């Protein structure tokens, strides 16, 4: 088993005589920053639309956890690998490449949404972008992700497809790790050495239940040892640390070495949902994690290493704001699903 902490700081690297070492090119750094900024600004706009009465139903935002989505998904291969989300799925969808217009339209229940307006906030899906869905119940998506990983292995070993090396990432929260499906799927994945990455987004709270009050061993990554699989703990507020850990896990999976349990220590900046007044968490706890904002951390790395200027980062933010406004306008102007198609997509079609 292994445990991984945060990426080496610029100061430590300089002191050791090595180059300031995120290992990023300017293009890579700006891509990561853009993806994380899109996630943050998109979710902020969702909150605005919800409180203005333009968006309905349960809406769970991802603010603060962007380094996990970007670090994992951007380290994998778009439209080749597979991704399985939770009810906090907007940003996973965006990182996987689902256009902001389609995600926003789905949140408005419109026909132009990625799930044709049938899924809403918690059930985003895109076959084109290999997004296997968001799921309202905890642990519900893990067996689906396991099936995708099994398919990849079966195509290679049973059907002779040498090019079948897709890896699946299954995202879920710390509360899910007390659920039976979690343990059952880890067992099967390890037994058959399936190419899957179990990504625990440990934001310390399962709705209003503090992680330490609900789990006998709070270090979730250690549970991998019971199944003989690799387990890592990583700073989930550092996109570079998450990206590096994901690359190691994906390399193991593609080499036939089986699954990895990756615990990302992160924090959500908003309540559990937009209906949550967020009164259970202490102000001190929130302030501590706000100071570790993953976007500010990445911006500091990029400017500190001379990979980007503050003006370039601001230009990306303005571009993203325009993209998000366009997504809202698109969603508002899109048609509602046709009532005559109420039962479509419920049963298989010829």
pLDDT tens for residues 288-332? Answer: 999 999 999 999 999 999 999 999 999 999 999 999 999 999 999
Q: Are 53 and 26 in contact (CB under 8 A)?
A: no
Select from 54, 70, 74, 53 the least CA-distant residue to 62.
70
Beta-strand relationship, 209-210 and 205-206: antiparallel
What pLDDT does 139 receive? 94
Residues of the chain with pLDDT under 70: 1-21, 350
Within-domain flag for 302:
no
Within-domain flag for 203:
yes
Counting the structural domains of the chain, the total is: 1
For residue 135, the enclosing domain spans 55-296
Select from 134, 141, 53 the least CA-distant residue to 87.
134
pTM for this prediction? 0.92
Within-domain flag for 217:
yes
pLDDT tens for residues 238-267? Answer: 999 999 999 999 999 999 999 999 999 999
Q: What is the CATH number of the domain that holds 267?
A: 3.40.50.970
Within-domain flag for 329:
no
Within-domain flag for 173:
yes
Within-domain flag for 73:
yes
What pLDDT does 21 receive? 60
For 167, which DSSP code?
-
Within-domain flag for 348:
no
Residue 265 CA to residue 219 CA, distance in Å, equals: 10
């Amino acid at each position: 088993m292994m445990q991984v902490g945060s990426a080496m700081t610029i100061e430590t690297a300089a002191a050791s005589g090595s180059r300031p070492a995120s290992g990023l090119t300017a293009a890579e750094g700006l891509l990561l920053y853009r993806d994380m900024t899109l996630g943050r600004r998109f979710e902020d706009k969702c909150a605005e639309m919800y409180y203005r009465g333009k968006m309905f139903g349960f809406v769970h935002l991802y603010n603060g956890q962007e380094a996990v989505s970007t670090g994992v998904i951007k380290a994998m291969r778009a439209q080749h690998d597979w991704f399985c989300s939770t009810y906090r799925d907007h940003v996973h969808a965006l990182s996987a490449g689902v256009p902001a217009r389609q995600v926003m339209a789905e949140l408005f229940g419109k026909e132009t949404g990625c799930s044709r307006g049938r899924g809403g906030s918690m059930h985003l899906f895109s076959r084109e972008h290999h997004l296997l869905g968001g799921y309202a119940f905890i642990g519900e998506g893990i067996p689906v992700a396991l099936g995708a990983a099994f398919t990849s292995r079966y195509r290679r070993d049973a059907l002779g497809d040498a090019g079948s090396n897709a890896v699946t990432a299954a995202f879920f929260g710390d509360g899910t790790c007390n659920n039976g499906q979690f343990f059952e799927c880890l067992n099967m994945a390890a037994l058959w050495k399936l190419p899957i990455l179990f990504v625990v987004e440990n934001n310390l709270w399962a709705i209003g239940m503090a992680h330490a009050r609900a789990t006998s061993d709070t270090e979730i990554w250690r549970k991998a040892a019971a199944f003989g699989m690799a387990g890592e703990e990583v700073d989930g507020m550092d996109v570079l640390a998450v990206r590096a850990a994901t690359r190691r896990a994906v390399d193991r999976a593609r080499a036939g070495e089986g699954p990895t349990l990756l615990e990302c220590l992160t924090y959500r900046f908003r309540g559990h949902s937009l209906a949550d007044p967020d009164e259970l968490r202490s102000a001190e706890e929130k302030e501590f994690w706000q100071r570790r904002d993953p976007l500010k951390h990445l911006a500091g790395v990029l400017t500190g290493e001379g990979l980007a200027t503050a003006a370039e980062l601001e230009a990306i933010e303005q571009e993203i704001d325009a993209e998000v406004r366009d997504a809202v306008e698109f969603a508002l102007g899109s048609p509602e699903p046709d009532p005559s198609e109420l039962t479509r997509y419920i049963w298989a079609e010829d």
